[in-house]
Structures are given as structure tokens and as C-alpha cells.
Chains A and B, each alone.
Chain A
Amino acid sequence: QVQLVESGGGVVQPGRSLRLSCAASGFTFSSYGMHWVRQAPGKGLEWVAVISLDGRNEYYADSVKGRFTISRDNSKNTLYLQMNSLRAEDTAVYYCAKGRGPLEYYFDYWGQGTLVTVSS
């Protein structure tokens, strides 16, 4: 069955960096676009970024553009999110999510999430 397992969250000071990982299994990872979605405590969902199945194309929400980088390693079935210049408003649970298809921007499987807290 499809599994997505995020890791790498934690407490980090403003201005510092953090890298999240998402280990995928149970499907052909290289055949699907993959996404990051976040949820601030007590708030709604916010789409963060997407990467194409071959890793050549990436798109970002305006709120993270220029600070976050999404990447993937299809040989390791792993998705990444490099987060630089972190701000308090980046505090959230970060979910990785599988697109329904190569170009689909809705999500049929989600990980359990990893909490990132940006605080001094």
C-alpha cells in the first residue's frame, strides 16, 4: 500500500535552515508529481510546492518562493524540502502529498506530517 513518511522537522531559530524528507513506498515514485502542503497550528491548509515526476520543473507558493527548494531522488524514492531563511510564520505541520497523476495538483495520498517550529 502507498506510504509517505516525513522526517526532519524540529525547532529551529529564525533565519536558520532545515531540510525535510519524505520516504515513499507502495507506488512507482518516478511516475508522479509530488507536493508539499503545510498547516500552521489551528489554521487551514496551504500548498507549498510541487516537483514534476522527473524533477525538471518546480513551482512554489509566493510565500516561500526564493527561500524553499523542492527536490527529489527517484533512485531513493525520496522527496525533499530545503527550507532556508526560516521565519516564525513558517511554523507548521508539513505534509508531503502524492499527486493523482503526473500533472495533477490534487492529492490522493498524504504523509502523517512533520512539525516545524521556528522560534528563538
Chain B
Amino acid sequence: DIQMTQSPSTLSASVGDRVTITCRASQSISTWLAWYQQRPGKAPKLLIYKASSLESGVPSRFSGSGSGTEFTLTISSLQPDDFATYYCQQYSSYSTFGQGTKVEIK
């Protein structure tokens, strides 16, 4: 099974900050990686797929990069709506999620 590890688990930041979340796979997954945002009590929302492709309707301040085993999600200028939990997901072999990164207000 492919394991996904996100870091950090919690991130404190302010509006306007540049934020980066890292996701590592236990083996190469090429670019078969997605990122989701989940607000409390809501279903996850797809942000990025194939490591760097921005889902339609998602603001351009979100970007993804990486391949193989190391990936990043970057929010270029954090907005109030962005305080949420973010998950990476590999879909190279079935599906596995990372444990999540909570972005909270500093």
C-alpha cells in the first residue's frame, strides 16, 4: 500500500501570507496526486489534480507542484476563506489520503 505523509499537521498563518504544504509518498506515484480543501462540517472540495492542474473555478492563488514522491500545495496569498484543512491524495494505486494539514489563523 502507498502511504502519504503531509507536513506540517498544523500551520498558523495570517491573511496575505504565502503558505506551503508538503506531501510525500512512500513510493513513486508519478503525478497521480490531488489536493482537497475541507471546511468544518463540509465535504472536501477538489483544488488540484494531476499534481499541478487547477480545478475549474478554483482561485489561481492555489498551485501544486511535484512528481515522483514529493509534492507541494502553495497558497500565494492566504485569504480568510482559506482557513481550512487540506488533504493530499494519491491515485496511482487505488487511493490513499494524507492525514491532513490544518491551516489556522495566527
Query: By the criterion of a CB under 8 Å from any partner CB, how many residues of chain A are at the interface?
Result: 20
A80 at the interface (CB under 8 A from B): no
A107 to B43, CA, bound (A): 11
Within 8 A of A (CB), among B1-48: 1, 34, 36, 38, 43-46
How many residue pairs, one in A and one in B, have C-beta atoms under 8 Å apart?
Answer: 48
Q: Are A105 and B91 closer than 8 Å at their CB atoms?
A: yes
Q: Are A107 and B97 closer than 8 Å at their CB atoms?
A: no
Within 8 A of B (CB), among A93-114: 95, 100, 104-108, 110-113
Given known contacts A59-B94, A62-B1, is B87 in contact with A44 (CB within 8 Å)? yes
- Cβ of A65 to closest chain B Cβ, rounded Å: 12
* 6 A/B residue pairs, CB under 8 Å, sorted by A: A47-B94, A47-B97, A59-B94, A95-B43, A95-B44, A104-B91
Residues in chain B within 8 A of chain A (CB atoms)? 1, 34, 36, 38, 43-46, 49, 55, 87, 89, 91, 94-100
The 9 closest A-B pairs by CB, nearest first: A105-B91, A110-B43, A47-B95, A106-B34, A45-B97, A44-B100, A105-B95, A44-B99, A106-B91
